[in-house]
Amino acid sequence: MILPDNKVESYIDVNDSVDFFIDAFEKRFGEVEEQNGVYNWSDVEIDSIGKNLKIKLLHGIWITKKNEITFSPISPEKVKKLKSNEKRGVRIRVFLKDGKDALISKANEIILMQIIETLLNNPTNTQNE
């Protein structure tokens, strides 16, 4: 996504298992307060790439307008009011500890998605233990 000020925001888009992602991230990295559909986990350590990362999870809906699909963050409380044709999803954005976007290339995106899938499939190995 290119923003009006020409900054690039890279997200991993996930169309299914919204509650699974929220629950798994909270179990893995601790509970955080949701604010307008946005969850932030700071200082998440990912050993396989030796970096401290910040993970931002946006919980929202996909809206189709004028043949374009856009993503609109939404809080879980508003989920009950969704229309049947609105599809829930999450966007996962991963930052390096210094604030730089870690998804600057497709290769990084693939690597980080594999790491996230590994973390979520192995929730017993948590940082808090």
Q: Are strands 51-65 and 12-14 parallel, antiparallel or unpaired?
A: unpaired
Place of tokens 């790491």: 115
Quick one: tokens of 7? 């900054």
Quick one: tokens of 110? 């693939």
Q: Annotate 5-70 with DSSP letters as a single string.
A: TS-B---EEE-S-HHHHHHHHHHHH-----BTTEEEEEEEEEGGGTEEEEEEEEEEEEEEETTEEE
Closest CA to 115 of 51, 68, 56: 51
In the prediction, which pLDDT does 2 show? 46
Q: Annotate 112-129 with DSSP letters as a single string.
A: HHHHHHHHHH-TTS-TT-
In the prediction, which pLDDT does 61 show? 76
| Band of residue 125 on the pLDDT scale cut at 50, 70, 90 | very low
In the prediction, which pLDDT does 38 show? 81
Residue 40, pLDDT > 80, answer: yes
